[in-house]
Chains A and B, each alone.
Chain A
Amino acid sequence: MITRNSQFHRAWVLGVLLMLPAVAAQAAGADYYAQFGGAAGMRALVNAFVNRVVIDPRISAYFRRTNIPALKAALALQFCQLEGGNCKFSMSMHAVHAQLGVTQAAFNALANDLYLTMDRRAIPMAAQNNLLAKLAAMEPQVVTR
């Protein structure tokens, strides 16, 4: 009779370990804000990003009645705070999106525009993904449909 080989038992251990925080390698203390180019870099990024968003046919309708300069100022402040730039952003993401009827597809299209803009501005990948991860986690407060 054939009996099982020993790899099987190792798989259990490995599999369980993998579901634990496989990734503790968050470059702790990395100065992402500097990688975005500090205040000037963040402003330039947000400017290019919003300019791309408002002409993106997938989501431009959401911004038809938006005060664009105010949106840019708020995003620059928020991104600065998220990336350790010592800014204070205090708006409720839930409240500002409550009436917009944002879909997951629209949320993702915006994320897509953001990383395309960051690619174009040659922001280092780790800094890009740090910001994307923090924004992605806001989906429950932003998407209402």
Chain B
Amino acid sequence: MKSIQTTKRSPTDHSLCEDPRVRRRVSLLYAGIIAVAFVCSASARAGTGILDAGRLTATGAVTAVDGSAGGGINPWAVIAGYGTNRQIGGSTFYTHLTLPNFQLNAYGAAIGLFDRVELSYARQDFSLGNTGAQLDGAIAGFFGAPVSGLPAPLQFGANDTLSQDIIGLKVRLFGNIVYDQGTLLPEVSVGVHYHQNNNTATIRALGARPNGSTFYISASKLYLDGLFGRYTFVDFNLNVTDANQNGLLGFGGLDRNGAFSNRYHLEPAFSIAQFITRTMAVGYEFRAMPQNQLVGYNALGDAVSRTSDWQDIFLAYFPAKFVSITAAYARLGAIASLPGQNGLYLSLNASF
């Protein structure tokens, strides 16, 4: 982990655009948007083609940080992209979240098959910046040992990054957010996210498992003639998971005997959104998080383990059918002993 530190950037030292890795990703994303726009304009004349994006603007939602079509932190029941029951759609996204002690960059893509099945991939890089050295100090202080005496997996140093890959599968069971009007019937999907954390040794040193899954069921409902005669959207999810910080700190934790414990927790989550126009919505999201015990049943363990439920308020805007921009204020609370991890979230999404 330490050997590749020099290639990692400190979020506090450089602006986002100066990071060559970010620049590369952003240019890839723009290439993706241009390709998507080209496919869309080329097929617009065909009328009924398989890539013709036959659903209405915004019905593919934006992309949640785990790669699924949804809000910012919750997947929703809708299938990514604009494909109808006879079409294939898809989306790509890039999300950046700045917190007081961390930065999260996430990017990925999803494909929607026949408005029934969604496959998604997301990569999350969680940069510790100068916070890594702070954590080293806190851990060394707890053990009464010098930082150099800590086990290697627990030395973060400056500019470390935790990262994970997330593969998602979502299947729509029934319902359609647009067509189910004048009824309480929601659109309902079930899904799973499989996470592979790339910092295996660190996660194991915390007493967690580097890979794991989150299962969920999502019920989404759109009222076309909702509040103020505008679209009103509500979503309620149940997650079954043992993820710590959505997998960034691995899965599961320790029981009282210090043995690994991966008891799954049932966690509720919900999102609400109110459209101001057909292409702009404001909303709020809540996602409960499991509280596992990491490191051990001691003061250090309590500090590192402290988890908060995730929340955000967001503004999403579709300047064109195929592009959306989401800005949010995310409240992730305590992460790895550091409270008040709240900050600005920006996400760019291109769909077809």
Contacts and interface: CB of A to CB of B under 8 A. Distances in A.
The interface residues of chain A, by DSSP majority, are classed as helix
B305 interface: yes
A103 interface: yes
B125 interface: no
A121 interface: no
A51 interface: no
Given A126-B225, A133-B225, A15 B268 contact: yes
Interface in A128-145: 129-130, 132-134, 136-137, 139-140, 145
Given A3-B291, A105-B48, A19 B231 contact: no
A57 B270 CA distance: 40
B221 A19 contact: yes
A145 B86 contact: yes
Contact of A23 (B44, B52, B227, B297): B227
B236 A8 contact: no
Contact of B47 (A3, A25, A61, A132): A61
Contacts of B48: 58, 103, 105-106
B293 A1 contact: yes
Interface string A55-93: 001110100000000000000000000000000000000
B210 interface: no
Q: How large is the interface on A (under 10, 10 to 19, 20 to 34, 35 or more residues)?
A: 35 or more
B54 A103 contact: yes
B288 A2 contact: no
Contacts of B180: 137
A29 to B, nearest CB: 13
B224 A104 contact: no
Contacts of B270: 11, 14-15, 18
Contacts, number: 140
A15 B232 CA distance: 15
Interface string A95-123: 00000000111101101100100000000
B56 interface: yes
A19 B219 contact: yes
Given A2-B307, A18-B272, A139 B227 contact: no
B309 A5 contact: yes
A14 to B, nearest CB: 7
A112 B54 CA distance: 10
Interface in A1-45: 1-5, 7-8, 11-12, 14-16, 18-23, 25-27
Interface stretch (B7-15, B154-162, B181-189): B181-189
Q: Which of B87, B183, B234 has the most CB of A within 10 A?
A: B234
B236 A129 contact: no
Contact of B230 (A8, A21, A125): A125
Interface string B204-224: 000000000000000101011
B182 A137 contact: yes
Nearest to B267: A8
Interface of B is mostly: loop
A136 B181 contact: yes
Nearest to A105: B54
Contacts of A5: 308-309
B84 A23 contact: no
A2 B269 contact: no
B179 interface: yes
B54 A21 contact: no
A4 to B, nearest CB: 5
B181 to A, nearest CB: 4
Contact of A1 (B178, B229, B302): B302
A125 B274 CA distance: 14
Contacts of B54: 103-106, 108-109
A127 interface: yes
B61 to A, nearest CB: 16
A23 to B, nearest CB: 4
6 contacts: A11-B269, A11-B270, A15-B270, A57-B45, A104-B115, A136-B224
Interface of B: 44-45, 47-48, 52, 54-56, 84-87, 115, 176, 178-184, 186, 219, 221, 223-232, 234, 236, 267-270, 272, 278, 286, 288, 291, 293, 297, 301-302, 305-309
Given A57-B44, A108-B84, 11 more contacts: A1-B293, A2-B291, A15-B268, A15-B270, A18-B270, A18-B272, A23-B226, A108-B54, A108-B55, A129-B229, A130-B229
